[in-house]
Structure 1
């Protein structure tokens, strides 16, 4: 009877480990301030906001705003120059989920909001897109191997 409780306990631990390993984080851009022209024309407001965050594959960001704003995804050159051409998200509360490593640039395309600091750079993982590359296949294979070894080790512990 006690071995059954031990097995159940081990399964609970394994499930908890799996949940924590796959949990994605949801960020609200600008936290409580939201997506708006930064106070006092602080052009580094959103740089400061991302500075203590580590974005990973599976994480998402939400752009919340009131008033007239957009969240426009643009290439780096457009971001640097506040060129307002790109994929425009016009509905507040829109969520963007990241499915691969890379760097994403967003700005507000309304008036001079970008020039006043309403822009943010989001770096996912190492910031380098690796879609279809050999390195992502190797990383996936190593992850699978490591997961298999961990599960076998835990199974041995739970069954003994």
Structure 2
């Protein structure tokens, strides 16, 4: 698992932003701090609540200079539909190949449901040097992050 003080694993993946573009973490460090909010799946209850809460608080993140991205294993096309249905103004990274969740150590399986290889609910704050300055990972997909703590961590990211 990626820890505070580690270099954030770089990745290139599709970005659902109303269109589908390519997103490379290391090429977007100028927009840091970056808030990478991993979530298990679009169109599910807690994930929808979480992403909508980030949207509701987006101005607060922008006020501290942070750029928010959601990250899930959903296809970029599903993520664009999810963005549109929920009025999300920030980009959603598609880890369809499940490489990012492996690199960050946040892969989760729901054996009892037969669902394998989704993201744990997790948040990483990455500074302009590409260093992880804050992280939160939950083994319980029903638990949301402390949004105030995420914003404070983004504000403190150096």
Give the TM-score category using the shorter length: under 0.3
Return the TM-score normalized by structure 2. 0.25
Greater fraction strand:
2
The structure whose Rg is larger is 1
Higher relative contact order (Cα pairs below 8 Å, separated by 6+ residues): 2
